[in-house]
Structure 1
Amino acid sequence: MRLYHHPMSTCSRRVMLAALHMGTPLELTEVSLLSPEDRRRLVALNPNNKLPVLQDGEFTLTESCAIMQYLADRTHGQTLYPDNILIRADINRWMMWTVQHFAPPIGMFGFEHIWKGLIGKGGPDADELERAGRLLAPFAAVLEQHLAGREWIVGDKLSLADLAIAPSLTYLQQAKLPLTQYPKLMAWFGRVSELEVWKHTMPVW
């Protein structure tokens, strides 16, 4: 199986974390989103023009959380995505939650504080940052409440849910994410940050 990715991409990191933790072998092809030629090749693979993309023979799969689930189903003996249908449903719920609710406003902070300047579009827009903060706060509060008395998102062990949510916080400091007022969320993120796979996939600036 071949994964088209970029090490700075938090969506790519989701897949890398899961694959490394499960010991799932992948051949890696790095795609530069700043390269017009790489962009053209990416669109041929994924009309959405997004990373990551998985190729397994003639089968091509996009969307990071779908790729994580597929790799888990392909990996014998993995523990991140148990066979129990109720546990899977709960994991699926949190994976969809982060893609729909939690990650988008975090991405706005990342764009304003990091990527915008790198592509020559000027400095942060205060109105956009204020809007991102308003969008993020209720969902950060949901996660904070959910983590009361818990170490991990689903059940009592690490799962795909943790590895889907945590990468959005990769640039916690650089993006100036307003999350330090959520102690349970930050404690959970600290546990994820101590995982060897997390350290191994940390982007180098």
Structure 2
Amino acid sequence: MRLYYHPASSSSRRVMLAAVHMGASLELTEVNLMSAEDRRRLVALNPNSKVPVLQDGEFTLWESCAIMQYLADRTFGQKLYPENILVRADINRWMLWSAQHFAPPLGTIVYEHIWKGLSGNGGPDSVEIDRASRLVTQFAGVLEQHLAGRDWIVGDTLTLADLAIAPSLTYIEQAKLPVTQYPKLMAWLARVSQLDAWKQTMPVW
């Protein structure tokens, strides 16, 4: 299986976290998102022009959470995505929650504080940051309440849900993400950050 990815992409990091933790074997191809030629090749793989993309023989799969689930199904003995249908439904719920509600406003703040300037598109837009910050506050509150009395998002062990949500917080300091006032969320993130897979996939600045 080959993964097209970029190490600074939080979506790519979701997949890499799961793969490293499960010991899934992947051949890696880094996509230079600043290269017009790499972008053209990427569109041929994913019409959304986004990483990551997984190729498994003739099968091509995009969307990071879908790739995580596929890798889990392909990895014998993994424990991140149990067979129990109720547990899977709960994991799916939190993965979709992150993709729909939590990750997008965090991504906006990261873009405004980091990627916008690096890509030559000007400085941070305070209106966009304020709008996104209000959404982060709303949904970080949901996660904070959910984590009361819990170490992990689903059940009492690490699952794909944790590895899907945490990467959006990769740039918590550099992008000044407004989540540090949530003690349960921060304690959970500290637990995730102790994982070998987290340390191995941390982007280098």
TM class, shorter-chain normalised?
A: over 0.9
Instruction: Count residues in correspondence.
Output: 205
- The equivalent of 1:137 in structure 2 is 137
> Residue 106 of structure 1: SS of its match in structure 2?
helix
> Residue 149 of structure 1: SS of its match in structure 2?
coil
Distance 2:30 2:101 in 1: 28
Q: Deviations over 1:9-34 (max 9, x none)?
A: 00000000001111110000000110
Distance 2:8 2:137 in 1: 25
Identity, % of aligned pairs?
77
Structure 1, gaps ≥5 residues long: none
Distance 2:13 2:123 in 1: 26
Distance 1:180 1:23 in 2: 31
- The equivalent of 2:184 in structure 1 is 184
> Under a length normalisation based on structure 2, what TM-score does the superposition of the two structures give?
0.99
Distance 1:147 1:135 in 2: 19
- The equivalent of 2:110 in structure 1 is 110
> Under a length normalisation based on structure 1, what TM-score does the superposition of the two structures give?
0.99
Note the C-alpha offset of 1:56: 0.3
> Runs of 4 or more off by more than 2 Å in structure 1?
none
> Residue 157 of structure 2: SS of its match in structure 1?
coil
Distance 2:161 2:136 in 1: 18
Q: Deviations over 1:120-169 (max 9, x none)?
A: 12211111111111111110000000000000000000000000000000
Note the C-alpha offset of 1:86: 0.2
Structure 2, gaps ≥5 residues long: none
- The equivalent of 1:3 in structure 2 is 3
Distance 1:124 1:47 in 2: 28
- The equivalent of 1:37 in structure 2 is 37
CA RMSD in angstroms comes to 0.5
